Amino acid sequence: MNKIKTIGVFTSGGDAPGMNAAIRAIVRTALYYNINVTGIMRGYEGMISGEFIPMSRKSVANIIQRGGTILKTARSEAFRTKEGRKEAFEQLKQHNIDALVAIGGEGTFTGANLFIKEFNIPIIGLPGTIDNDLLGTDFTIGYDTAINTVIDAVDKIRDTAESHDRLFIVEVMGRDSGLIALRSGIGVGAEAILIPESRTDIDALFKRLEESRSDKSSKIIIVAEGDKIGGFEITEMIKEKFPKYDTRLSILGHIQRGGKPSCMDRVLASRLGVAAVEALLNGRKGAMVGLINNNIHYTPFYNAIKHLSEADPNLLKIVNILSL
Ligand code: F6P
């Protein structure tokens, strides 16, 4: 055991369902090991401005089922500057915080990496993002809930699409990643799935629509937000090429980030929260804790934030076989 007496916990970047379950697990594990926990509000923003709150077993009661994050979150511009990070470090010192658990995604871990290099403070990360775009974990906290939200919404769109014999383009979140689109697209039986990891070949899409069974009364195309062409443009192109289709665009937006976390996300957050605190107590730092093949793994921040450059070819193949 090393000399950690107080751990600071914060959520940062886009929120994700299951962040509260993670906060609960971190607080209760730390208290179990007789370590104090301080909550840092609004991520790095609150660290800089000194928005700290003491955490107790009670302060995390009744939150495991709640979406969002009780610690709030932000994307901090100030923390990108050296002065901002220095101020944050001063605040941590003043409040006797000697280690951190950061719950977030790529931006959060990029900041954490710099912070460790400059001030040598121990930080362990938990993957909290609906995008599932971090290496070193099969799934990120929030992803399972988000894809279930998507399939719930698209099932409803399917009802109206069937009634009107319509083609729907549905744009889902994922600025740099098509993983929400890919998995939810398979889950709703999409005609095609367009993602940033592979070049969108509009002629291939047209061919697919031409070849698709004429007795299908509804068609769904899932487009990731980060697709190079984008949902709006694709809708316009399809309308022009296939005037016979009654085509509509639906952008699901931020409903994908809200809602009660699924059981998968609650359990994932709980397991990773416990592992994060134990890792700090065992002297680990600068790594994200994740789950690979159901086992805990630690991945250095600089590896966790490297992007997957291609989508799983097995999933892509499934789409092609099943959607005809
Ligand atoms: O990173 C999660 C995410 O929901 C992305 O999928 C999306 O592109 C982005 O956040 C939207 O962020 P904001 O809510 O800040 O506009």
pLDDT tens-digit readout, 104-113: 999 999 999 9
Measured from the CB, is residue 129 less than 6 Å from ligand 1? yes
pLDDT digits (tens, 9 = 90+) for 78-133: 999 999 999 999 999 999 999 999 999 999 999 999 999 999 999 999 999 999 99
pLDDT score for 278: 98
Q: Is residue 216 part of a domain?
A: yes
Same domain? For 96 and 162 the reply is no
Measured from the CB, is residue 164 less than 6 Å from ligand 1? no
Residue type, 257: R
The catalytically annotated residue of 15, 98, 131, 144 is: 131
- What spacing in Å lies between the alpha carbon of 324 and ligand 1's midpoint? 32
CA 250, CA 170: separation in Å to the nearest integer?
A: 5
The answer to whether 29 is a known ligand-binding residue is no
Same domain? For 274 and 132 the reply is yes
Question: For 40-44, 158-162, 260-264, 312-316, which range has the lowest pLDDT when averaged over its residues?
Answer: 312-316
- What spacing in Å lies between the alpha carbon of 147 and ligand 1's midpoint? 14
The answer to whether 80 is a known ligand-binding residue is no
Question: For 77-86, 142-151, 193-202, 246-255, which range has the lowest pLDDT when averaged over its residues?
Answer: 193-202
Q: Is residue 322 part of a domain?
A: no
* Phi/psi at 18 (5° precision): 110, -10
Q: Which of 130, 176, 184, 305 to mutate to test the pocket of ligand 1 (most atoms within 8 A of CB)?
A: 130
- Give the CATH number of the domain where residue 18 resides: 3.40.50.450
Residue type, 135: L
Q: Is residue 83 part of a domain?
A: yes
142: region left, alpha or beta (phi > 0 left; psi from -120 to 50 alpha): left
- What spacing in Å lies between the alpha carbon of 278 and ligand 1's midpoint? 30
Q: Is residue 319 part of a domain?
A: no
Q: How confident is the model at residue 2 (pLDDT cuts 50, 70, 90)?
A: low
CA distances from 71 to 14, 18, 31 (A): 13, 13, 18
> Which atom of ligand 1 is nearest to 175's Cα?
8
Question: Whole-prediction pTM value?
Answer: 0.97
CA 94, CA 132: separation in Å to the nearest integer?
A: 35
- What spacing in Å lies between the alpha carbon of 242 and ligand 1's midpoint? 32
pLDDT digits (tens, 9 = 90+) for 225-242: 999 999 999 999 999 999
- Give the CATH number of the domain where residue 225 resides: 3.40.50.460
Count Cβ atoms below 10 Å from residue 293 Cβ, excluding itself.
6
Query: Quick check: helix, strand or coil at residue 290?
Result: strand
Average pLDDT score, the chain = 96
pLDDT score for 217: 86
Same domain? For 159 and 242 the reply is yes
> Which atom of ligand 1 is nearest to 226's Cα?
8
Measured from the CB, is residue 106 less than 6 Å from ligand 1? no
The mean pLDDT of 287-294, rounded to a whole number, is 98
Strands 36-40 and 6-11 turn out to be: parallel
Same domain? For 12 and 135 the reply is yes
Identify the domain boundary among 232, 257, 282: 257
- What spacing in Å lies between the alpha carbon of 84 and ligand 1's midpoint? 23
The answer to whether 258 is a known ligand-binding residue is no
Quickly list H helices, the chain.
Answer: 19-32, 43-49, 82-94, 106-119, 143-164, 179-187, 202-211, 231-241, 263-281, 301-304, 313-322
Atom 12 in ligand 1: which residue has the minimum CA distance? 14
- Residues 47-81, buried b or exposed e (16+ Cβ, 10 A)? bbeebbeebeeeebeebbebbbbbbbbbbbebbee
Measured from the CB, is residue 16 less than 6 Å from ligand 1? no
The mean pLDDT of 296-317, rounded to a whole number, is 90
Same domain? For 122 and 171 the reply is no
Same domain? For 135 and 161 the reply is no
pLDDT score for 1: 47
| 248 HSE (CA, 13 A, CB side) | 15
Q: Is residue 241 part of a domain?
A: yes
The answer to whether 27 is a known ligand-binding residue is yes
Whether 133 sits among the annotated catalytic residues: the reply is no
Q: Is residue 189 part of a domain?
A: yes
What is the count of structural domains for the chain?
Answer: 2
pLDDT score for 212: 83
Same domain? For 134 and 283 the reply is yes
Q: Is residue 318 part of a domain?
A: no
Of residues 225, 221, 136, 125, the one with CA closest to residue 179 = 225
pLDDT score for 214: 80
Same domain? For 135 and 266 the reply is yes
Same domain? For 165 and 231 the reply is yes
Q: Which structural domain range is residue 156 located in?
A: 144-257
- 213/11: higher pLDDT: 11
Measured from the CB, is residue 141 less than 6 Å from ligand 1? no
Question: For 51-55, 124-128, 198-202, 219-223, which range has the lowest pLDDT when averaged over its residues?
Answer: 198-202
> Which atom of ligand 1 is nearest to 174's Cα?
6
> Which atom of ligand 1 is nearest to 13's Cα?
1
Q: Is residue 265 part of a domain?
A: yes
Does the pLDDT of residue 307 top 90, yes or no?
Answer: no
Same domain? For 184 and 297 the reply is no
**C-beta separation of 220 from 193 below 8 A:** no
Same domain? For 18 and 137 the reply is yes
Same domain? For 212 and 282 the reply is no
- What spacing in Å lies between the alpha carbon of 279 and ligand 1's midpoint? 29
> Which atom of ligand 1 is nearest to 75's Cα?
15
